[in-house]
Amino acid sequence: MRKGIGVSPGVAVGQVYCVDEIFVNPQHTHLPDHDVLAEWRRFEKGCEETAAELRALAQKMTRQVGQDQTGVFYAQEAVLRDPAFIGKVREEIVRHQRPAPLALENVFKEYEQLRARTKDAFLKQRLLDVHDVVIRLSGHLSPLLSLETDGSAPRVLVARELLPWHIIAVGNLPLAGIVTQTGGATSHAAILARRRGIPAVTNAADVLSQCTNGDTIVVDGRNGTVIVSPDPEQESAYRKLQREFVDLRGQLAGNRDQPARTADGVDVALLANINGLDDAHAAAAMGAQGVGLYRTEYLFLSHPAVPSEEEQLERYRLVFAAAPQRRITIRTLDLGGDKTIPFLGHDREANPFMGWRSIRLSFEHPEFFLEQIRAVLRAAADPAGADAEIHLLFPMITTLEEIRRIRAMVRRAGKQLAAEKKPYRFVPLGLMLEVPAAAFMIESLIREVDFVSIGSNDLVQYLMAADRDNPKVSHLCEPLSPAVLRVLLRVVQACNGAKKPVTLCGEMAGDPRSFVLLLGMGLRSFSMSPAVIPQIKDLAQHIDIEQAKSILRDTLTQRTTEQVRKLVGRRVRELVPYSELLQAVD
């Protein structure tokens, strides 16, 4: 048994499917003598294909953002010609007769160990180039991820951690659950699991060393329990809970066409957070009333190069057409931190989440940023978007000057399109409130924008000065902290007082306890993972506004996070007893 952090509710029993950092899962086989030469040639072919891909990327980026940003591609191509790197892989394949993916994996681990030890900044950067090349090269040698199933058992993904490009690789592959060794409640693994509506546990220490592919595993996303190879009694008990969880989820999904309304008849907007077109369809299937957050960076992260304005335009048209009720808030690129692409923000920083990221990165590349703004304005005027309610959201706003600079860039984009005689339409502009400085200046900032979206994931970690993906401090990133609740109350009251629409689009929106408190604060618009919309809609139907306000008042008298969790958890269970299947008992 391992104890971690339950980050997506429910119970799953399935077969372990272990993945490593680059999703290779190589076969641990010994090649026969007659296959060695063919395997070496396969590796050489993969290197040639990767080098050609890097050269094409460099040429395209030279045209789009300038030659200064293409050095990384040439540096990575040089890795593929490096005698030391090639020699190590050759020895693995030819001397030790290992398949190319396994050989690459072994060499990769050697370089990663060296990167962890070195203090030399130049060498560390070169080793990061090796890291990125191996990820790209591995895709030419084997599929990023394949879940071959015999139809007998669902698969539970077990990994050290999930990174943004892993989320793309997973896509819509069938998964029953997720377990990772690191991460917290707002890690990428947690967000993916909640988006898919599958149980997940993060920060399960050393779990990879305790299991192998095919082992039976239990995942309890309510309390963070993970059991590898459970005994018959344990397995039987958890399978019963799994059936109850699946049945409950199916029953709740039946409210798809019901209004999102409190017990006393107050309408609330339950919107969806999406990464792309598939999520937009899922949001419609779950009864969302629109898209409250379209994370456009995943279009860039999944693109083999960088999407042009025309490619962005086509994708936005498709997403607008699929969005529930044709209502969508599109966020401009939120790159940096743990989401990087080689041609923007590739340099690793000592503290990337508080560094050169999001809107700061966009300002550094104004022409690149303008391209995205132009694509959105054009899509808004297109027949696919002309009758849609489209809002444009800008991440990590800190100062009033940034808002004014953004408005100037939007005007510039409009003038360019007018001069080119390309149809466009201006749309409402909003700020994503994630930085405490913006929260404390909210009364001034909202005068300059049309709406506000609260990004609670980053706001919480910045308020608590704790990296949400660092297991040593992730326990501090608690949205039910009294300090967080007081800041949110101030922001919601300021927006409502100024009659500016405000939505919360972090993971708090889909948590039953947080939802009740936010409802009591006066928030009426929530954006969440599509999979949790039915549960939140049902909860809304069981509570009236006075009850929510009463729970909030009681909560604001509590002095610790633990006291808040226990009080609100108990009150939510009184409203909807079935919530014990969906959240841990505090």
Within this chain, domains 2-19+146-251 and 33-141 share the same CATH topology: no
- pLDDT for 217 equals 95
- Domain chopping of the chain, boundaries: 2-19+146-251, 33-141
* 310, amino acid identity: E
Give CA angle at 289 (284, 294), nearest 5°.
75
Round to whole Å and give the CA distance between 261 and 257. Answer: 12
Spans in the chain with pLDDT lower than 50: 23-24, 144, 149, 345-346, 585
Q: Name the strand (E) or helix (H) holding 502.
A: strand 502-504
Residue 188: active-site member: yes
Looking at 18, 211, 477, 505, which residue is catalytic? 505
- pLDDT for 256 equals 84
Which of 144, 217, 212, 139 has the alpha carbon at shortest distance from 178? Answer: 217
| CATH topology assigned to domain 2-19+146-251 | Glucose Oxidase; domain 1 (3.50.30)
Which of 370, 365, 320 has the alpha carbon at shortest distance from 341? Answer: 365
- pLDDT for 24 equals 43
The structural architecture, per CATH, of the domain 33-141 is: Orthogonal Bundle (1.10)
Alpha helices in 434-582 (DSSP H): 436-440, 442-445, 456-464, 482-497, 512-521, 533-541, 545-555, 561-575
Crossing angle of helices 36-65/83-90, nearest 10°? Answer: 150
pLDDT per residue as tens digits for the range 10-47: 899 999 888 765 544 555 678 888 889 999 999 999 99
- pLDDT for 349 equals 54
- pLDDT for 482 equals 97
The answer to whether 234 and 227 are in contact (CB under 8 A) is yes
Residues 6+ apart with CB under 8 A from 230: 13, 216, 218, 238
- pLDDT for 375 equals 95
Residues 6+ apart with CB under 8 A from 65: 306, 343, 344, 365, 367, 368
Q: Measured in Å, how far apart are the chain's first and last C-alpha atoms?
A: 20
Structure tokens, 144: 């990023």
pLDDT per residue as tens digits for the range 504-552: 998 899 999 999 999 999 999 999 988 889 999 999 999 999 999 999 9
β-bridge pairing 11-18 and 155-159: parallel
Round to whole Å and give the CA distance between 41 and 51. Answer: 15
Residue 211: active-site member: no
pTM of the predicted protein model: 0.76
Looking at 18, 47, 166, 188, which residue is catalytic? 188
3-state SS, residue 584: coil
Round to whole Å and give the CA distance between 530 and 508. Answer: 14
